[in-house]
Amino acid sequence: MPLKGKNTKQLTRVMLIVHRYLGFCMSLLFLFWFLSGFVMMYKDFPYLSKTETWERSEEIPVEKIEVMAHEWIKTNGLGALEWASIKVVALEGRPVFRLKDKDGIPYCYYGDTGELVTPITQDRAGRIARAFMGNQFEVTRVEELNGLDQWIPRTRFLPYLPAHKVHMNDGSGTVCYVSSITGEVFQKLNTSDKIWAWLGPIPHWIYFKDLRIHTQRWRNIVIFLSILGTIMCIAGLYMGVTRVRIKDTSWKNLSPYKKFWFKWHHYTGFVFGFIIFAWILSGLLSMNPWRWSPSTGLNAEESALWKGGNLTPKIFQINPAQVLLTQGKESVAIKELEYLRFAGQPYYLLWKSEGTSTLVYADEIEPPLPQLETNLYIQQVKTIQPEKEISAVEVLKDYDAYYYDKHQTKPLPVVKISLKDDRNTSYYINPKTTQVMSKYETKSRINRWLYHGLHSLDFPALYFKRPLWDVIVMILLLGGTSVTLTGLVLTYRWLKRKTKKHMLK
């Protein structure tokens, strides 16, 4: 559809230059993005999940718990601190309390004696990792780790450092990361995980260690490249549409280009250009540029209101040993006990080896709670939003358009509480843990469709219909790859011509 007019010709000239030179600069990056996208359909960056941690961890030796958290805090003069989390786990056959203050500083002590957990040596790290792997494999070597590396590149890993990298002789090249502060195994991966990561998430997210450890710098670079890519796509779409010859009936003559690579770049771009634009734009939105979309979690103020007060250890009156012993009749071992406060009431949240949980009172001995009454959650939502009216309360036994998980591991059922406000706020609550799993309002809903919808094609009518989703995404990825490959060939030929011309001068 050739456009006429002086201004139109100038615009077309600008668009041509923008698309050409941005394409020269970014065609190789786009190719990496598309090729790694095939891997990202099935492989993510390797992280040690909580479920696997609970499966592999020791059972808490309940009979050995003697020193309560509030007693230890008082004895050590730490009463002025505010606590973000308190957990009880097992370490080398002994109960250990892991406390973290509001600044993220960890404190660990043995629940049987009250002694501080001393820094974990290499020998102890080897024993801990070997036990974590079921005592089936020997340790080949242990490395000291004092900073972030390629496999723990995010700042959330800093509280675990320094640490030990324990290599196992399991035939898979497994490495366990053991914190020298807490004795916790906080990362586990093998050679296969590393290979898939280098083929998928690392090039796709530009997750190279020396860049990723500088969070803001990495974020700025990804946003900048995504903006350039979006502009390049817009210019390409404009050129692709305006250069189409609609008067010709034969598809072979729709493009004005005669040369093979130009013609096929035009054809493939015309067919797949919009999906490329959608993927690059949604990739940009995944970084939440300019913080335009609110978080889907509670902010600090909302979280405090939800809990009904600080995590004050002295209100947890019942010794965890008594609570755990009442659960001892169950066949499933308890791997972690978490101090929890909800609506001002203290609870212990017991995590079991298969990842399920049980909620029990922490100030009186009562039978376990299957889950709390829905009215309690409604009450706390009203505490957060006192002037808003509740419009609907639902118990979801299946995922919906906003609460879902591609691996289908998010807990069900959940309580969905919706408000009648100008932002259409909804809360999704896990009734077994009292946790607000997510909160959606107008902007975060828009972001869900523009980011997740366009980037992962996770539309409800398609996402869980496998292998239909796989086939469609692969076809689109192949189309995107063909566009970038033809663009890369054109870039190579242009550079070759320019180099040859320069050498002849």
**One pLDDT digit (tens) per residue for the chain, 505 residues:** 555 566 788 999 999 999 999 998 999 999 999 999 999 999 999 999 999 999 999 999 988 999 999 999 999 999 999 999 999 999 999 999 999 999 989 999 999 999 999 999 999 999 999 999 999 999 999 999 999 999 999 999 999 999 999 999 999 999 999 999 999 999 999 999 999 999 999 999 999 999 999 999 999 999 999 999 999 999 999 998 888 877 655 666 778 888 899 999 999 999 999 999 999 999 999 999 999 999 999 999 999 999 999 999 999 988 877 876 665 545 568 899 999 999 999 999 999 988 888 898 898 877 667 678 899 999 999 999 998 999 999 999 999 999 998 888 899 999 999 999 999 999 999 999 999 999 999 999 999 999 999 999 999 888 888 899 999 999 999 999 999 999 999 988 888 887 877 776 6
Which amino acid is it at 474? M
H-only helix segments in 165-259:
191-199, 201-205, 209-212, 215-242
Helical pair 260-285 and 215-242, crossing angle rounded to 10 deg: 140
Instruction: Tell me what pLDDT residue 323 has.
Output: 72
Could you tell me how many helices (H) and strands (E) the chain has, helices first? Answer: 16, 14
Cα dihedral sign, 313-316-321-323: negative
Q: Can you give the pLDDT at residue 3?
A: 55
Task: Give the pLDDT of residue 248.
Answer: 58
Sheet holding 106-110, edge to edge: 106-110, 94-101, 83-91, 334-342, 345-352, 357-361
Distance CA 318, CA 326 (A): 12
Residue 74's pLDDT is 95
Bond prior to 320 in cis (omega within 30° of 0)? no
Question: Residue 442: what pLDDT?
Answer: 96
CA–chain centroid gap for 86, Å, is: 23
Query: What pLDDT was estimated at residue 249?
Result: 57
Q: Would you state the pLDDT for residue 193?
A: 98
The tokens of 94 are what? 């002994």
List phi, psi (to 5°) of 14.
Answer: -65, -45
CB 30 within 8 A of CB 484: yes
